[in-house]
Chains A and B, each alone.
Chain A
Amino acid sequence: MRKGYRPIISVVVLVMLSSLLLAGCWDRVEVNDRALVLAFAIDKEEDDRYRMTIQVPLVSSLGGPSGGGGGTSGDKSYYVDSATGRTLREASSVLQARMSRQLFFAHHRVIVIGEETARSGLRTILDIIARFPENRLTAYIVMAQGKGAELLEAQPQLERFSAEAMRELINMHGVAIKVKDLAQMLNTPGIDAHLPVMAAVESHPKGKTKEIQVVGSAVFVNDRPVHRIKREQANSLRWFQPAFQPFSITLPIEKNKNVSLDIHHGSADIKPIPKKDRMHYRINLQAKGTIIEDHSGIDWGDPGNIRMLETMLGRKLSKDIREMLSEVVNRQGSDPVGLGLALARKRPNLWKEKYRDRWSEHLKDVTFEINARVLIPSNGQTTENLTEEEKR
């Protein structure tokens, strides 16, 4: 029996000895020793230094069990701090120097890029985001109107953190851009980047704090923003996203008689048609909508009326897209919808030989033709206004 114990004892001793060697070099950090960065903003100072602003939740004020607990500052459930540095990493180590908990970036959901920073180019910023392993390529990236720090300081009423609010808003805005999407748009010839732009605005009626609002989309040439599309116009960008996000549109039928429609299905097919001196694009639009509000009093039970509405909606959608494209593509030379990409896929040789190297210049001559096929299969819950007298 004695002999049988020997291998076990030696294994136990070996494990104990080797665990002594491991002491001190583990990277175990308890969750209450970490500061979870929910969002950070990158701004550029006048002296060309970066200002990094972080948003960290105050975990103790999130409602743990009673008893004990760290200090809280006011009624806010988060804490915003910023520091400057020649690189972002330098700025974050300054922040760490006055932070009793270890900064932990793996949970940030939103990266806010200040307007100034974006002007000086996105590529250098994206380097730190991709190089540092804690950062996630699936975080959303937005551009701020003005300073990025302001977005982090805003306290939206519906969410505990503005980071959370931004994330939800981006999703609803329909053109959500993640870090990896941005990187892909930047490194793919034939498509230019675009980012949602957000601003901290006063709510109405005026509250104590600011709310966060989507104000449009910024379109880029190379890695610098050249133009901002307004929010309503930015809806036209949705057609060209991989997954269509529903939105609503208001259509004037006659003077002061409007119909609001919800467009819940949509897709756009881009067909490049090479002409002698320029590129021509045929964009086939397919949309499905539902009437959600009617001020016209027209009987939508009549298929003829519906057909009329479909034509009007198609015309309106085409017009909006044409306006957006002529502004962004023809005037600014930016290609956020991937016109070049469509050409490169259909006619790779033509793309390589003629257009690829000076695509931005060629964009100014591009012409469009938009065919919209709109269906309104449903006219809402009622065909007529409920209060309308019944015809007998």
Chain B
Amino acid sequence: MKVQRKSKKDEMLEIINEKSVSELESFSIRPSLRENVEIIKHLFQDCSDFVVREFQLKNSVHGCAIFVDGLIDTKQVNEALESLMIEKGGADDVQVIESEILPVSQITQVTNYKDLLMAVLSGDTGILIEGNSIALTLGIRGAEKRSVNEPEGESVVRGPREGFIENIRTNTSLLRRRLKTPRLKMKSVVVGKQTNTNIVVAFMDGIVDPEVRDEVLARIEKINIDAVLESGYIEEMIQDNTYSPFPQVQYSERPDTVAAALLEGRVAVFVDGTPMVLIVPTTFWMMMQANEDYYERFQMATLIRWLRYLFLVVSLLTPAGYVAVTTFHPEMLPTTLLLSIAAAREAIPFPAVVEALIMEISFEALREAGIRLPKTVGQAVSILGALVVGQAAVQAGIVSAPMVIVVSITGIASFTVPHFNASIALRMLRFPLMFAASFLGIYGILIGIVLIMGHMANLRSFGVPYLSPLAPMSVGDFKDVLIRTPWPHLKQRPGFMGTQDVKRMDTLSVDQSKKEH
């Protein structure tokens, strides 16, 4: 009898061992403390940071606290245990302990190993009491975290300086501080068999299109992957078209940007462990908008927006256009300019395409080197880069001076796109266009543009056409695309989002109310 029981337990331990924590739902917590401790110790063999603290309550009932060292606030856990063991500890029933003894604000009762271990691994402290098949988890967390800083990736002149950090709770609190309404819903999902990453899907109830919301949740719940270390994992798993160069998901590390997006009827996805919050659905024009557009005077914002549109075209087409015009259609250039270009190109051994490729590729390499290297080396890279790409290459007669200008303008232009992932798409597409230009001239560029436009018109982001409101056309929404309409006149949320509540403000505008006084 005894032998049989032991083997059954061993068998169970083995099964538990093979499974990931999220699959332990069917294993309920035993009434016997000894058995529980045995299972836990078996599971956390060789985990030096995992602590199992056994103790006795005042009335000699055995209990045990489990936690991960470093994730908890030791001082507060000590206080909790103190109240259990010394001050009031007489009860052996978990219900009584929770309601009468433990002075901890966040206590949850759990009945199975999945919930218990997930909580403990996330930083809670688990309390097991002899004779109870219910465990308590105390939400006393105290892990190290970065303080809330100004986001380096999205700096502004005017606007809040707060940025998200790696802790998801801090991030959701930053958002909640901006949207103090019960309509801000945050649904929690856990993804990743090994990482068990917490994911929060936030949206504004009553504004968001329920279909979009359900689609986002469904797509995230379907993810079956062992690890989620950054929001990029989620982005790639939920985006509509994996092979498109265009980003169909926007990310931001600014709470104000996320709040504004939610108010437009979009859905935000917080991922624990990264300051980048995903925002869907995303359209192409949103990639051309920066949060500061809405904080600065509208004339300036409109002007800057047009500047971005202009330089978007510049960054995509300048090298290709230069190659096409100089090698296929020199009649398009003013004579004097053509003579200057011809004079500069006189000693260059390469065709214009090769020249352009050399310069563009070395420029991309320089940029990559500048980002990835330690900051102390970065300066050396920029000096070397400026010398090599700029002066030396021209003087050595490898590339011509006009090409240096073309590449620098292209480089600067690609930085005017406010969202980094959108400018990546443009930078990549530049190269096929250059090839097309070298084969077929402007005709080739046009073919390339038609293909790109066709692809963009075909893209969807969670059901929203990528080019909306331009295609399909909805003239009313141009208010926030071609110009940045001043706030008193921006009464409607974007229509193409399918929002439930379209009205941003009542018909009585600020201007009208000013007139009345």
Contact = CB atoms under 8 A, between A and B. Distances in A.
A and B found bound together: yes
A189 interface: no
B40 interface: no
Contacts of A32: 342, 345-346, 348
B339 A57 contact: yes
A107 B336 CA distance: 10
Contacts of B328: 27-29
A68 B327 CA distance: 21
A29 B327 contact: yes
Interface in B262-310: none
A109 B439 CA distance: 29
Given A32-B348, A65-B401, A104 B327 contact: no
B338 interface: yes
B346 A36 contact: no
- Between B340, B346, B351, the greatest number of chain A beta carbons within 10 A of the residue's beta carbon is seen for B346
Nearest to A70: B346
B331 A134 contact: yes
B95 interface: no
Which of B242, B330, B351, B441 is packed against the most chain A CB atoms within 10 Å? B330
Given A4-B242, A59-B339, A64 B344 contact: yes
A158 interface: no
A60 to B, nearest CB: 5
A222 to B, nearest CB: 32
Nearest to A167: B335
Q: How large is the interface on B (under 10, 10 to 19, 20 to 34, 35 or more residues)?
A: 20 to 34
Interface in B332-357: 335, 338-348, 351-352
A189 to B, nearest CB: 33
B61 interface: no
Interface stretch (B1-9, B67-75, B392-400): B392-400
B397 A65 contact: yes
Interface in A8-46: 8, 19, 22, 26-32, 34, 36, 38
Q: Which of B335, B341, B394 gathers most chain A CB within 10 Å?
A: B335
Contact of B342 (A8, A59, A134): A59
Given A60-B346, A64-B345, A66-B395, A36 B327 contact: no
A152 to B, nearest CB: 16
A69 B349 CA distance: 10
Highest count of chain B CB atoms <10 Å: which of A8, A22, A31, A38: A31
Contact of A60 (B343, B439, B440): B343
Nearest to B324: A28
Contacts of A8: 243
B326 interface: yes
Nearest to B355: A30
A68 B440 contact: no
A164 to B, nearest CB: 8
B318 interface: no
B495 to A, nearest CB: 33
B438 interface: yes
B395 A36 contact: no
A31 B338 contact: yes
Contacts of A30: 326-327, 345, 351-352
Contacts of B396: 67
B39 to A, nearest CB: 38
A68 B347 contact: yes
B438 A31 contact: no
A57 B394 CA distance: 23
Given A60-B346, A68-B346, A38 B335 contact: yes
Contact of B243 (A4, A28, A31, A68): A4
B346 A34 contact: no
Residue in A22, A26, A134 with the greatest tally of chain B CB atoms within 10 Å: A26
A31 B342 contact: yes
A31 B347 contact: no
Interface string B430-456: 000000001111000000000000000
Given A34-B342, A36-B342, A65-B395, 6 more contacts: A31-B345, A59-B342, A67-B395, A70-B346, A104-B330, A107-B338
Interface of A: 4, 8, 19, 22, 26-32, 34, 36, 38, 57, 59-60, 62-70, 104, 106-107, 109, 134, 136
7 contacts: A22-B439, A28-B351, A34-B342, A36-B342, A62-B339, A65-B395, A107-B335
4 closest A-B pairs by CB: A68-B347, A106-B331, A64-B343, A62-B343
